[in-house]
């Protein structure tokens, strides 16, 4: 087992053994769920993901995509062209996150509506 595999295994195991902690270790963070949500519609190129998440830096998007790829949630497809064409898509494992991501969106919409409603 190389260092990266060891790190992933340690992260997946978590400190408490709680399944929620395991899930958050894979999809947690500000941008991972957003990137995954955008990939629900199909393959996207890096620049498209950057346009869809303008508050995230390209460096942060790159790091998040690498972690998602290392965890087997997304697939990076490199086409042998000049200039190189790279696309990202959800793997079958990543597809299983769809109900979670849709629930997160619904909850966020409800919460945002509650926050905008007048108090009292």
Check which CATH number belongs to the domain holding 38 and give it. 1.10.10.10
Residue 20 belongs to a domain: no
Residue 117 belongs to a domain: no
Q: Which of residues 18 and 116 earns the better pLDDT score? A: 18
Residue with tokens 């919460």: 111
Contact between residue 73 and residue 27 where contact means Cβ atoms under 8 Å apart:
yes
Total number of domains constituting the chain: 1
Q: Which of residues 83 and 13 earns the better pLDDT score? A: 83
pLDDT digits (tens, 9 = 90+) for 17-57: 788 888 888 999 899 999 999 999 999 999 999 999 999 99
- Tokens at residue 76, please? 């990076």
Contact between residue 56 and residue 68 where contact means Cβ atoms under 8 Å apart:
no
pLDDT digits (tens, 9 = 90+) for 69-115: 999 999 999 999 998 899 999 999 999 999 999 999 999 999 988 86
């Amino acid at each position: 087992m190389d260092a990266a595999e060891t790190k992933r295994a340690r992260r997946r195991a978590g400190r408490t053994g709680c399944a929620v902690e395991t899930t958050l270790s894979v999809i947690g963070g500000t941008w991972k769920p957003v990137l995954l949500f955008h990939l629900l519609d199909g393959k996207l190129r890096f620049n498209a993901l950057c346009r869809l998440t303008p508050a995230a830096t390209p460096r942060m998007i790159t790091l998040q995509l690498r972690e998602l790829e290392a965890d087997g949630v997304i697939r990076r497809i490199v086409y042998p062209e000049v200039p190189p064409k790279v696309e990202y898509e959800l793997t079958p494992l990543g597809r299983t996150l769809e109900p979670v991501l849709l629930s997160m969106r619904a909850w966020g919409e409800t919460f945002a509506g509650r926050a905008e409603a007048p108090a009292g």
